[in-house]
Amino acid sequence: MDRRLKEIIIDIIIAYILDLIFGDPYCMPHPIRFVGSLIRKTEKLLRKGEKKWPLKFIKNEKRRERLCGGVLWVITIGVTVGTVYLILGICKYINIYLFHIVNIYFIYSSLASTCLAFEGKKIFKSLDKKDLEKSRINVSYIVGRETSNLNEEEIIKATVETVAENTVDGIISPLFYIIIGGMFGVAAPMAYMYKAINTLDSMVGYKNEKYMNYGFVSAKIDDLANYIPARLTAIFMIIASFILRLDYKNCIKIVKRDRRNHKSPNCAYPESAISGALGIKLGGTHVYFGKVVPKPTIGEELRKPCNNDIITTIKVMYLTSFIALVVFTGISFFAYKL
């Protein structure tokens, strides 16, 4: 194996282990906060200049907003990737060991397995104590739907769905782009290219009046970025279900049948995998921002959801991420050999 690729893979493995151990310490400023701040400030400037020259010549409001949304995307991705690349370049010029330390930090901060598990366990613990009100508050931090009237079963389903869905954009997708970038010596910049894409979608990719056109580009590119990782996640979850002695046969069945039962082209893949593995029904109609949003269901109700389903989903998430790491690093090794 090429020495540079070997060093990058070692950096990735160390970063992965650090995420397992520490997660995202709340006392440390996360790089994504700066990306979020960049998005807010850039959007504000673009909205101020939306009806000024040269944009004022675009009379169609829909086209003008989509153009501004595209400019927002380009600026955010360009500044984010450029900044990470520049910082690493300066570190490499100063000292190769400093480069690896900073490279590991950027990769580590792009992964979210322990953070995701922590949020899920908080809900598990509050439900275990029969504190429904606290459980509703805890679940409100990780879902977009209204949670004030959710019952215990709905809270469990919401948590399971969110952990499964975020296994893609919080772990598998970053790993996917980290490995691709690592083969060309740009693992961390590729990681933050994806994180910026995902952050843009989470901030402006809403289908409401304010962002329907402004977030169009961000939402579509996020769908594209997660297209392959989401499908790989379903495959890895099937393998994880087999290893954990869950119902992997039903997992395969539900993925094949319900993988498109979602408005997103990607979300139903991990959700159908975990639904099949657990034997519970997910999805359905929910309330978002005071509006009832009908959604198709995923899976079959072979039994009622229970609180332990949250812990089982977290176990599947961890094992899925490990399988992905092994597969991705293995592919990069063989790809280099070819």
* Residue 145 confidence (pLDDT): 84
Express each pLDDT in 192-250 by its tens digit.
999 999 999 999 998 888 899 999 999 999 999 999 999 999 999 999 999 999 999 99
Alpha carbon distance 337, 278 (integer Å)? 39
Report the SS3 class of residue 45: helix
The domain total for the chain is 1
Burial of residue 133, with CB atoms counted within 10 A of its CB: 0-12 exposed, 13-18 middle, 19 or more buried: exposed
Q: Tell me the DSSP string of 259-281.
A: TT-SSSTTTHHHHHHHHHHHT--
Alpha carbon distance 120, 336 (integer Å)? 38
Alpha carbon distance 203, 227 (integer Å)? 19
Segments forming the whole domain that contains residue 57: 1-337
* Residue 24 confidence (pLDDT): 81
CA distances from 308 to 29, 113, 114, 123 (A): 33, 18, 18, 11
Express each pLDDT in 25-51 by its tens digit.
766 678 999 999 999 999 999 988 776
Report the SS3 class of residue 214: coil
